[in-house]
């Protein structure tokens, strides 16, 4: 099985978009659509009304309506620019180079789209992406830390994974959740190569899955997800390395034992099931103590659990995090 070597760094000198500027951009979009109620969007107002079908930063993607600001967002950090978030990606179904997803993901057809939900649950069924979009949407500004020691700050739009899980009533025997990505060599040219054992599979322990920070993302920067970022729905678990946040999900299964995940199968000594961000536990081929934030030149210290330790550390109380990496 091919394991890719440490990714080369991308040198970028572009300016980073401040959060206030992002909010102003979204307010401007609302104004041009004529849907602002009571004038400008105010940070802290509790609700962000976004115009439907307005382009996002020239990409032509529909702006998601009725998005609420979440108190669970990371605060005080500058957002990674939209063009970097959408052009510097790991999505091996479209190729192993960081620029391959944006070059080749136009072949993905995110509509129509359904997610099969099965396994140990009382109400197995199918979740249509339109139903998902109709659920209460929140903007969650989260740090993303890649196992390759680079990071971003991304304003995701999504729904609580717990809210989705509750619809299907998992049984008490369901201690884990297995996620599966679309496996289509026509839409995804990268799966024609045996880089991984397709389809891509990830998993969470149930208490991780229902944690308030865990979301199914359906958008970013106020608009629907671009194909290269995992359209139409992807997992986002901000305290874990990015490869845990599986993209373009087509199946969610409630299972009794931990699923064998794609990277753990490909490189069991390098990529564990838990994959919690841990600066004290190095990857066998590089240090995890520091990271490079895309858009910056100096590396910064990596925070335990990616800075979300106060919220999630209790999930792993008593566990040897060097053993359960």
Contacts of 195 (CB under 8 A, 6+ apart): 2, 4, 92, 96
Say which residue, 48 or 206, is predicted with more confidence. Answer: 206
**pLDDT for residue 59:** 59
Whether the per-residue pLDDT at 38 is higher than 50: the answer is no
- Alpha-carbon distance 58 to 79, whole Å? 18
Q: Given this model, what pLDDT does residue 22 score?
A: 41
**Residue that has been written with the tokens 């990015």 in this structure:** 242
**DSSP-assigned letters across all residues of 129-143:** HHHHHTSPPEEEEEE
Averaged pLDDT, 271-290? 97
Average pLDDT over every residue of 244-257: 98
Helix (H) or strand (E) holding 201: strand 201-205
d(CA 88, CA 74): 21
A 10 A CB-CB count for 109 gives 14
Mean pLDDT for the stretch of residues 141-170: 98
pLDDT at 83 > cutoff 60: yes
**pLDDT, position 275:** 98
pLDDT by residue (tens digit) across 119-152? 999 999 999 999 999 999 999 999 999 999 999 9
Bridge partners for 153 per DSSP:
143
Confidence bin at 3 (pLDDT 50/70/90): very low
């Amino acid at each position: 099985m091919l394991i890719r070597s440490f990714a080369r760094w991308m040198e970028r000198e572009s300016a980073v978009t401040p959060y206030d500027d992002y909010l102003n951009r979204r307010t401007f979009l609302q104004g041009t659509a004529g849907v602002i109620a009571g004038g400008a969007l105010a940070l802290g107002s509790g609700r962000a009304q976004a115009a439907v079908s307005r382009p996002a930063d020239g990409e032509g993607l529909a702006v998601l309506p009725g998005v609420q600001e979440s108190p669970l967002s990371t605060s005080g950090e500058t957002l990674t620019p939209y063009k970097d978030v959408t052009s510097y990606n790991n999505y091996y179904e479209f190729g192993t180079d960081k620029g391959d997803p944006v070059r080749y993901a136009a072949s993905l057809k995110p509509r129509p789209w359904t997610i099969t939900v099965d396994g140990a649950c009382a109400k197995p069924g199918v979740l249509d992406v339109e139903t998902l979009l109709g659920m209460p949407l929140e903007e969650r500004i989260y740090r993303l830390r890649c196992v390759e020691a680079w990071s971003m700050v991304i304003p995701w739009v999504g729904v609580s994974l717990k809210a989705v899980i509750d619809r299907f009533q998992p049984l008490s025997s369901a201690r884990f959740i297995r996620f599966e990505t679309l496996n289509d060599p026509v839409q995804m040219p990268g799966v024609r190569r045996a880089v991984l054992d397709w389809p891509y599979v990830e998993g969470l322990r149930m208490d991780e899955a229902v944690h308030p920070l865990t979301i199914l993302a359906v958008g970013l920067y106020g608009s629907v997800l671009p194909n290269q970022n995992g359209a139409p729905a992807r997992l986002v678990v901000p305290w874990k390395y990015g490869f845990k946040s599986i993209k373009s999900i087509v199946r969610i299964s409630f299972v009794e034992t931990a699923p064998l995940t794609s990277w753990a199968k490909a490189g069991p000594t390098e990529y564990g099931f838990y994959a919690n961000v841990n600066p004290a536990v190095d990857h066998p081929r590089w240090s995890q103590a520091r990271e490079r934030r895309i858009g910056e030149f100096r590396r910064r210290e990596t925070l335990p659990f990616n800075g979300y330790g106060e919220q999630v550390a209790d999930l792993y109380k008593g566990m040897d995090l060097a053993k359960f990496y």
